[in-house]
Amino acid sequence: MIAEPQIKDDFLSFDKNGLYCKYGDFYLDPVAPVKTAVISHAHADHAVNGNHLVDCTPATAEFMQLRYGKKAANTFNLHNYHQPILHGAVTITFFPAGHMLGSAQVLMEHEGVHYLYTGDYKLQPDPTCEPFEWAKADVLITESTFANPAVTHPDPAAEIEKLNGIKINILLGAYGLGKSQRLISLINQYAPQKKILVHFKIAPINAIYEKMGFPPGRYQLYGRKLMNNQEEFVYIVPPFTFDSYIRAKNVKRLFASGWKNLQVNEQDTLFISDHVDWNDILLTVKNTEPRQIWTLHGDGFHLKKQFGGNILVKIL
């Protein structure tokens, strides 16, 4: 019987700059500028500016350049999904993560062992980004943001259909990149009578979605005079604007998020998450078939309890 290739416990480690792979001399989603960064997606907590070299998808580069301008990176190396990249002794391949447009899982192969870094990911269908794609791995390095059996994300269509019962204008808080575009698409599909307005900061992001072949759907730019009328407008705004409108009158305030603490109150909730929930993570483990699970961005306690007898679970 041929022995399985040995998993290296030190394949990834944290230092002051973030998650480092010494065998390929690169960082995954570094928290500070580095020489070589492999960036899974363009959200600011994963994509800092100032890196010397960035490996990412074309959409991720577009979003970073929009946000950071000339400071985005010295050099972008753009890679499509399934296109191998070699860094040192590590071969890297991107797979769609389903989190937002351009988001990628990072499959790393070294000495016959496959390590899969998911980045942020979701399994729910979303026409505004590439759908999640399964990959086999010896080590699943998964986000564990909602890795708790008590967390089950509701059906996003049912959540959006709540808007149909609200006849006054709605002020809808959402992250500008990824979430807002998904909301535009969902509202057009499940609350089509609503008239969608977007904050001026969101419009350039929508333009990139349209350019990349993932138009979010019908919307128009916000105008103060428009919102003076009660015509079932839904005005989508980023968090800083939403917070500044805390005393807004004649509107229903909602914030779209998977986090309970970001909901306006217990009665007016809109649970739309772009992350995997507990059942999604279990399905990912089943389909990935890892020998080990390494967890990031959350508490791996429940995964240890679930798999500890059969699969080694390590909290990075």
Smallest CA-to-CA distance from 293 within 154, 111, 147 is with 147
Q: Are 114 and 95 in contact (CB under 8 A)?
A: no
Distances (CA, A) of 117 to 19, 92, 138, 189: 11, 10, 11, 32
What is the per-residue pLDDT for 74? 98
Alpha carbons 278 and 292: distance in angstroms, whole number: 17
**Residue 274 phi/psi, 5° resolution?**
-105, 20
pLDDT tens, residue order, the chain (316 aa): 677 899 999 999 999 999 999 999 999 999 999 999 999 999 999 999 999 999 999 999 999 999 999 999 999 999 999 999 999 999 999 999 999 999 999 999 999 999 999 999 999 999 999 999 999 999 999 999 999 999 999 999 999 999 999 999 999 999 999 999 999 999 999 999 999 999 999 999 999 999 999 999 999 999 888 988 999 999 999 999 999 888 888 899 999 999 998 999 888 999 999 999 999 999 999 999 999 999 998 888 999 999 877 898 888 8
Phi, psi at 269, each rounded to 5°: -110, 150
Residue 106, classed as helix, strand or coil, is: strand
Alpha-carbon distance of 49 to 72, in angstroms, equals 5
Residue 191's closest CA among 226, 208, 166, 224?
Answer: 166
- Tell me the three state secondary structure of residue 147: coil
Residue-level pLDDT at 1: 61
Q: Hey, is 250 helix, strand or coil? A: coil
Q: What single-letter amino acid sits at 298?
A: G
- The answer to whether 144 and 295 have CB atoms below 8 angstroms apart is yes
Non-local (6+) Cβ contacts of 152 within 8 A are: 277, 278, 279
Of the candidates 256, 243, 254, which has an alpha carbon nearest to the alpha carbon of residue 171?
A: 254
Measure the CA–CA gap between 306 and 287, rounded to whole angstroms. 16
Enumerate domains of the chain plus CATH numbers.
13-149+275-315 (3.60.15.10), 156-262 (3.40.50.10710)
Phi-psi map region of 142: left, alpha, beta (phi>0 left; psi -120 to 50 alpha)? beta
The helix or strand, by DSSP H or E, that contains position 140, with its residue range, turns out to be strand 139-143
Cα–Cα distance for residue pair 239/253, rounded to 1 Å:
12
